[in-house]
Structure 1
Amino acid sequence: MYDLKDKEMIFVFTGPDGSGRKTVANMAARTTLHMTGVISYTTRAKRPYETDGEDYHFISEDAFDVAKENGEFLEDVVINGCRYGIKEEDVRSKFAQKGCIYLVLNNEGADILKQLYGEKVIRIFIYADRSTVIERQQERGDNEAVIERHLSHYDRDMAYKKVCEHAFENYRLDHTAFEVTEIISNYLQLDLTTED
């Protein structure tokens, strides 16, 4: 297991699918500059709006099995019959570039990292109400079966909010990203104020 150095931290963005967690994470990272993302590996099929190597690393079941047998995953979970995992080497190499990293994970993945690294992991819960989540998934092109699958665990996802270190209702993306950036900056003790 990768040992975090003194000033290294992991920010985990979690929440219901369609809440905007990945968009908020990316916006905060662009603003903070001291943070870089680690991309998960998955066996699920790529959706039309996704890019391999940017949204996920899309790999076969066999490739996932080999990586797992070789002990390459820091954490791995099964969601809706598909496998997801974060490779330890990716975490190590990203920390070599920046002082902290961020990941976009579901509840199970967030829990695993929290158990591994304790207070070094800050969970940021991004959420929106059910109708907003449905609307966003429709806008990005998810089909009804995918949306229904996501909604089947919406309530369980929302229940995770109470154990996260921070939670943000995401209705105005720019506002949410600004609030998240301020929180991260406090952890990293950065002064991001700019003069007009």
Structure 2
Amino acid sequence: MTGSLFIITAASGTGKTSLVKQLLATTNDLTVSISHTTRDPRPGEIDGHDYHFTEVDAFTSAIGESKFLEHAEVFGNYYGTAEQSVRAQLDSGVDVILEIDWQGALQVKQIFTDATMVFILPPSLSTLRQRLSTRAQDSVEVIEKRLAGAVTEMSQYVHFDYVIINDNFEVALTELKSIIVADRQKLARQQRRYHRTIATLLGNKTTAE
């Protein structure tokens, strides 16, 4: 059974990564695709776990070989999603989450037209500024650049299927999980998952009958 693809996008500091981490810890048959990036690791980040940290030359070579499902340059660094690994995970029946920016999200949607796209927004710009400052992982200059680009990023929410306001973490997590659960109850997925049960219930008739 083929898995579903979920694209989750947010401006930096909105809490997307924390939400996805907790979602993975409480949901079966769900994984997140590990992106490639040319930026330096932040304190505590592990290569192959948080990102595949990649040299610029290797990244641009992969672009030339069409190995990325999507890629973009964000604040002077490249980010990209390897197409082969995503397709392999989906083919194994696992639902896959892509944590990518809006540019990458729109690129992927052109290829996986049935992907479910979720945009996470902060409750206010002041809250976003506070969250970016509290992380203490970026310089003041970088934080200001991220805030300046946040409005442009967030204006892209209109292209997405769902919008979640991350004001209360537990509420936002419940809303995000409900999207995953609802997708798994769709007709096509239930027909594939329970085709024998359905056939038995219908007296071994096909679902088309």
Instruction: Give the TM-score category using the shorter length.
Output: 0.7 to 0.9
The residue type equivalent to 1:168 in the other structure is I
- 1:93-104 aligned within 5 A: 93-104=88-99
Once the two structures are superposed, the pairs formed by residues 103-182 of structure 1 within 5 Å of their partners are: 103-118=98-113, 120-128=114-122, 129-141=124-136, 142-182=138-178
- Equivalent in 29, 37, 52 of residue 34 of structure 1: 29
Q: 8 Å contact 2:3–2:92 — kept in the other structure? A: no
Identity rate, percent: 30
* Maintained 8 Å contact 1:37/1:94: no
Q: Which amino acid aligns with 1:86?
A: T
Provide the C-alpha distance between the structure 2 equivalents of 1:165 and 1:92, rounded to a whole number of angstroms.
22
Q: Provide the C-alpha distance between the structure 1 equivalents of 2:141 and 2:42, rounded to a whole number of angstroms.
A: 13
2:76 is aligned to 81
TM-score by length of 1: 0.86
Q: Report the alpha carbon displacement of residue 96 of structure 1 after superposing the two structures with TM.
A: 4.6
The answer for the alignment partner of 1:193 in structure 2 is none
Q: CA RMSD in A?
A: 1.8
Determine helix, strand or coil for the equivalent of 1:153: helix
The corresponding residue for 2:39 is 44
Q: Which runs of 5+ in 1 are unaligned?
A: 1-5, 191-196
Alignment of 1:45-84 (within 5 A): 45-84=40-79
Residue from 167, 181, 185 that aligns with 2:181: 185
- In 2: Cα distance, 1:31 partner to 1:83 partner: 31
Aligned residues: 184
Amino acid at match of 2:174: F
| Structure of greater relative contact order (alpha carbons < 8 Å, 6+ residues apart) | 1
User: Would you say the 8 A contact 2:14–2:121 is kept in 1?
Assistant: yes
**TM-score, normalising length from structure 2?**
0.81
Query: 2:14, 2:180 → 1: CA distance?
Result: 19
Structure index of larger Rg: 2
* Unaligned segments of structure 2, at least 5 residues: 187-209
* Higher mean displacement: 176-185 or 92-101: 92-101
- Following the alignment from structure 1 to structure 2, what is the Cα–Cα distance between the partners of residues 110 and 80? 17
> Partner letter of residue 125 of structure 1?
F
1:16–1:157 CA contact under 8 A, matched in 2: yes
